[in-house]
Structure 1
């Protein structure tokens, strides 16, 4: 009778998510060669190839697609059963995989992540930061952290930060050469540090005042996809940057940057923790959600909701 171990099934799911043996092996915690041998042995016993392998890519075969789809629900049920069994533990343990934008990860590091690590030292937190929004279930994450407006509608969302605002900022040296813009249309005469969206498009700066809504794509010498690089360029006087208040607060307080067009940047909903509405949350998952709710209560959060925004540099 042929038997297949849980580790082998998890290995196949990991390779299917990452489309890469090295990345999957890192997630599982084994060597790439061990993972490759494990999958090959399973394929041999099954009598079916699950993956097409080349030197550049790994893709699922038709049989692999069916196998991954058929085994995923059972694996999820097994994980939940293990979680229920270990819930009686005095201290949560395990690995918590979180997907977030880099800005979101920086914002929650001190008040959430480090506090959680202090409270639950047996839990390993694995944070992956990337600009693009991913399917956290398909990619094997337990939780996601993003701006509220980008959270998929089928997820449970928990606010974990106050409302946010954008700020148009430049250095004092920059404004010694260029006049202060009074309206967004004045930006046509300025050097703007433009930002690229995760999908490759150019982000158009958004402005709103008394019901008037504008989107502008300025001109300038730099096109960047990282808010910290934009901040560095703004400090150096290269041009104006459009960043969240959280990113520029210290520089504004220290006088390294000057803010303009403040009345054109109203608040929008802040960050949310989100996760699938599963039947059961493992103890270490639930402890993280509870900490987020506790932090939100202590901060007395009451976010202001808006229908749309496309910001990616929170």
Structure 2
């Protein structure tokens, strides 16, 4: 007995999420229905494809092999269906994007409003991906990252204007601490740390007159979200390393004080990146063309 496309679709969704609840939500079915479909597929193939316990889900060696073979085949099916858009006046379908939370706020959201207004037939799904993901393997059409963090085999185009960082703290904080004159002076300050999902902490980056400098700052508080870091700075908990666009209104209001400005020149902002293909799916092409038209 051969597996049907529905069962293979269920298996790929489980392989992508490694979580029955999230996979079921993505497919619009119940976790029990998902589990039943997977059992049926495994029985037909007479192979265990997924290791599942009460605490974790993982693929067996057979499951890994099947997922690797199915992903390009299903992408070809998606591309074939996307090609039907050429018979429509405007593309329709779903656009899946992966981006870090700060990139969503600063660069992606300003673009999505006018894009969706111009293309009402396109449904956009944005996934907050704090960690780097393989957008092809995870089923995304495109992602948003800094240019230097985009793989060499991807096409990357600017998504927004240049960015600039700002080192800030409250007037009350500086009433008790001297203003740092150089990044090296940060060693004497309580700096609010940016912590990545893998546990690593972000080294603050500076540049002046072509000289680049990374500083491993110290601080008693570490957070993983820019909004939380801003709130901590406003609470007087230390110096914060944030984007200028996030804090400029607060600087203008006198709620935050900026230091080391000469060490924070503008730099290229976030980029939209996507797989290098000769023929882009119409939905992705529409978004790429829209982004290019704004730069």
Give aligned pairs, total. 295
Return 146-155 or 218-227, whichever deviates more. Answer: 218-227
Partner of 1:119: 118
- Per the normalisation by structure 2, the TM-score is 0.94
Q: Which runs of 4+ in 1 moved over 6 A?
A: none
* Matched residue, 2:99: 100
Give 2:42's aligned residue. 43
1:118-162 residue CA offsets vs partner (Å, 9 max, x unmatched): 122232211111221111111111110111111111111111112
Provide the secondary structure at the position in 2 that maps to 1:63: helix
Structure 1 residue 110: Cα displacement: 4.0
Displacement of 1:108 after TM fit? 3.1
Aligned ranges 1:164-203 → 2 under 5 Å = 164-203=163-202
Instruction: Decide whether the 8 Å contact of 1:123 with 1:284 is kept in 2.
Output: yes
Name the SS of the counterpart of 2:180 in structure 1. coil
- Contact 2:107–2:270 (8 Å) recurs in 1: no
Corresponding position of 2:3 = 4
Deviation for aligned residue 1:287: 1.2
Please list, as runs of the form range in 1=range in 2, the aligned pairs for 1:10-49 lying within 5 A after superposition: 10-49=9-48
Q: Which residue of 1 aligns with 2:61?
A: 62
Q: Which runs of 5+ in 2 are unaligned?
A: none
**Mapped partners of 1:88, 1:255: distance in 2:** 56
1:245–1:120 Cα change, 3 Å: same
Spell out, residue by residue over 1:179-223, the C-alpha distance to the aligned partner (whole angstroms, 9 max, x if none).
211111222222211111332112121222224333222333311
Task: For structure 1, list consecutive stretches of 5 or more residues without a partner in the other structure.
Answer: 297-314
Q: CA RMSD in A?
A: 1.7
Q: Distance in 2 between matches of 1:9 and 1:89?
A: 29
**1:91 and 2:90 equivalent?**
yes
- Please state whether the residue corresponding to 1:192 is helix, strand or coil: coil
Asked whether 1:286 is paired with 2:289, we answer: no
Question: Tell me, what secondary structure is at the counterpart of 2:89?
Answer: coil
Normalised to the residue count of structure 1, the TM-score between the two structures is 0.88
Deviations 1:43-64 (A, max 9, x none): 2222222111111112112221
Q: Is the 8 A contact 1:165 1:245 kept in 2?
A: yes
